[in-house]
Structure formats: C-alpha cells, structure tokens
Amino acid sequence: MNYLISIIVFQAIFSFILLASQRNKDTFEKLISLFMFFISLHLSTKLTFLVFLKNNPVYYNVPTSFSFAYGPILYLATTSLKEKITLKSILLHFSPFVVSTISFIVILFQISFYDNHGFLDIYEVFILSEIASLGIYPILSLKKLNSYNEAIKKERVKFLKILSYIFVALVSLFFIIIILSQFGLYINARLTYVFFLATSITVVLFKIKTYQNPDYVSATAITNEAEEQKYSTSNLSDSDLNNYKTKIESYFKSNKPYLDPELTLLQLSKRLDIPKHHVTQVLNTGFNKNFYQFINEYRVNAVVQKLSNSKQNENIIDIAFSCGFNSKSTFNTYFKKVTGQTPKSFKQTLFLAS
C-alpha cells in the first residue's frame, strides 16, 4: 500500500506542477491547480504518518480534513465556467474545511503530548460529514454541468463531469465498505486512494491535451501548413470562390459557429457543405486569413461588442470564454492583433469614453 500511495503522491505532484507552471491562469485553472495541490498534500501527509510514524498507528488512522476541500473546489470550478466566483462564496464553501483543519491540528497536538484523546471521538463523528461533502458537491456540479447546453468550454465541461463521476464512485465505495463491514466482510479502505490516482491521471491527460495546443479549444489541432497550401492546385473558379465566400460570411453572421470552442476546419466544411480544401482556399484567397485568424477575429469582435454592453466590473476573461475562446493567452494574443490594444487597456479606454 505504501507503494500505491507513493505513486499517487508522485502523480499528484506532477499534475500540480504541470498546472502551476502555466502563466496567466484563469479562475478555473487556479482552482484545478489548488485541487491537485490538496491531493498532493493529503496523500503526502498520509504517507509521512505511514512511513515515519508507523509505530503509532493513531496518527495514520486520524482522518484528515482535506476531503472537505475537494467538493467545494469542484463545485466552484464548475460555477466559474459561467459565473464570477465571489469571496463570499469561497468563504462559505470552505468554512467546513477551515474548521476541520484547525480541529485536525488540535488532534495531532493532543496525540503527541497528551494521553487523553477525548476530543478525538468528537472529531471522528464530525469528520463523517466529509463523506456527505464528497457526495453532495459532485452531484450539484453534475446538475450544473448538465444545464450548460451552450457550445462553450465543452472540453472543460467534459473534464469536470469525469471528476464528478470519480468522486461519486469514491463515495459509493465508502458506503459499500461500511455496509459490508456490518456483515463481517472487511475491505481495506485505502483502496479508495485508487480514485485519487484516477483523478490525477484525468487532470494530466486534460492538461496535456490543452497545454500542448492552447488553440485546441479555440480552433482545431495543429494542421500541416503544406497541406493547407494544396488549394493552389485547385480548379475552383472565381465565381465559385466568391459564392463560397458569401456563403461563409452569411453562415457566420446567422449561426455564429465561432462560439463553439471546439470548432475545427473539418467540422466547418461539413456544416457549410463545402470541401475542406476549398474552405481553406476561400479563407486564404478571399479573406487573406488562415483558419485560426478567421475564427479568432470573429471571437474578438464578439468580445468587443459584449464589452460595449457590459458592466465595468464584469470579468473580461469570462466574456472571452463566452465568445468561444478557451485560453487566456490565445485571447490576449489575438485581441491585441485585432484591436492594437491589450484587453485591459481597451476596457479602460472604453469605460473612460463612456
């Protein structure tokens, strides 16, 4: 079991470093980084007790307070996809974690210096509510995620759904262990740590998918530039090219496909019923842009329009995500290219003028 915990600790620390190394993180990314930090700290604490304090099993068997943090973080990360996270909501959801952490420290102090462990009995009853927290928050998160039927942040919604299901399964296993124990069948509760390993792997896979290609959720996977140039041998007539150009402009105006953060060149060609290489040719020849530029300029213009009608305290990154962006760095880059200003300075100029 020591080896299993060690593997999970290593995986969790790797996930945390991968997340923490990213610059310009938005609220969602900060919360997922915090999520992995707590898993790393949680299992590192357990491993320390198991290895260095093995002569006193009381330390290892004392429930930690970290499980009170996982549910709130998951729920707030879900909420952050569409709403701004307030300090009040953070304090509200994290208050059980703060109280239980203080109690946990008191318990460790009591175990270390006193023989009387009376407070431990009270603490263990209180800590049972951790199971409720681990079960209720993922269910609330899933309810929210299922209501997000807009074509925005699909990858993040999918990712959070997987995490929610993992924790629902974790709580289900807890109940199975408790029920079986009533019939004299005992399962090692440490098997639940496997779910933390599943969580770490899920985070790593999600992060690698988006980290290697920040434009993945903004356009499509990186394509071969040489392939995009095949339009030069195309027999597409000028008349057809102009018709396709008009069709693309009309489709973007009426259907707003750029709001879909997972829109790809292939998907666009299917929706337009225009061959992929012809779409590329029209974008390059008719608009003097590649696919990425074309899509993201529409998104920038949508952000500018929303900013003009928004309140001053509205988060510009939230607006960007609602317009199809799913990477803060990509948004900042394209916004400056299109407007000549950073998002922050543009917003300041806009509200000073009004």
The span from the CA of 179 to the CA of 182, in Å, is 5
Q: Which two tokens stand for residue 253?
A: 């105006």
225-353: what CATH class? mainly alpha
Closest Cα to residue 275, out of 250, 240, 251?
240
In contact, 101 and 107? CB cutoff 8 Å: no
Query: To 10 degrees, what angle do helices 87-113 and 118-127 make?
Result: 150
Predicted structure pTM score: 0.58
The alpha carbons of the chain give a radius of gyration, in whole angstroms, of 25
At residue 246, φ and ψ (nearest 5 deg) are -65, -40
Q: How far apart are CA 106 and CA 327, in angstroms?
A: 42
- Specify whether the CB–CB gap between 304 and 336 falls below 8 A: no
**From CA 155, how far away is CA 138, in angstroms rounded?**
18
Per-residue pLDDT of the chain (354 residues; tens, 9 = 90+): 555 556 666 666 766 676 666 666 778 888 988 888 888 888 888 777 777 666 666 666 677 888 899 999 999 999 988 777 888 899 999 998 998 888 878 777 776 665 655 555 665 566 577 888 888 999 999 998 888 755 446 778 889 999 999 999 988 888 888 788 888 887 776 677 788 888 888 888 887 776 544 444 444 333 434 444 454 556 778 888 889 999 999 999 999 999 998 889 999 999 999 988 889 889 988 888 889 899 999 999 999 988 887 776 778 888 999 999 988 888 988 998 888 888 888 888 877 665
Per-residue confidence (pLDDT) for residue 258, from 0 to 100? 94
DSSP 8-state symbol, 309: T
Alpha helix (H) residue ranges in the chain: 2-20, 27-52, 57-61, 67-79, 87-113, 118-127, 129-147, 154-181, 193-211, 225-228, 238-255, 265-272, 276-281, 291-308, 316-322, 328-339, 343-353
In 3-state terms, what secondary structure has residue 322?
helix
One-letter amino acid at 332 equals N
Q: In 3D, which of 124, 123, 130 has the Cα closest to residue 170?
A: 130
Distance CA 49, CA 62 (A): 10
Residue of 114, 133, 131 whose CA lies nearest to 58: 114
Distance CA 26, CA 316 (A): 11
Report which of 341, 238, 330, 254 is spatially closest to residue 292, judged by C-alpha positions.
330
Place of tokens 């499509």: 220
Output the CA–CA distances (angstroms, integers) from residue 39 to 13, 70, 118, 138, 190, in the order listed.
8, 8, 28, 16, 14
Neighbouring CB atoms inside 10 A of 219's CB total: 26
Which pLDDT value is given to residue 10?
Answer: 66
- Return the pLDDT at 166: 93
